Chain A
Amino acid sequence: MKRRTILKTLPALTLLPAALKVTIVEADEHKAAASKAAGAASKKVELPDYAGKLGYSDGSVTNPDGSTQRGFKDRSSKSQNADPKAPYQMPLTEEELGILKGSKGPEMAKIMAIVVAHGNAFGAEGLVDLGGAPHCSLYTGTDYMKPMIDLFQECADAGLKTYAPYTVNPRCYDVYNVNNNETDMRLIYEGYRYQRDLDWVHAQLGAPDLNYRSCACYVDEVGNAPPPGTYVAWAESSAINYGNSAMGLRTNRNAGGMELLCGLLGKAPLFGLMTDEGRMADWVVEVKTSKAPDLGVLGTAIGLKVIDGVPFITGMEQYLGTEVSNDNMHLLKKMGSATAASGAVGLYHVENLTPDAKQKGRKLIKKDHQTYVYDDAEEARVLGNFPTKMEGRPENPTVALIGCPHNTYKEILMWGKRVTEAMEKRGLKTTAIPTKLFCANVVRDHLVKDEPLLVGKMTEANMRFTNMCTVSYGSMKGFSERIYGVTNSPKTRNYSPWVRYLPDDDIVEVILTGKIPKNA
Chain B
Amino acid sequence: MLSIFLNGETREVAADLDLAALVDSLSLPAKRIAVELNGIVIRRADWAGTPISEGDRIEVVHFVGGG
Partners in one complex: no
Residues of A bordering B, CB below 8 Å: none
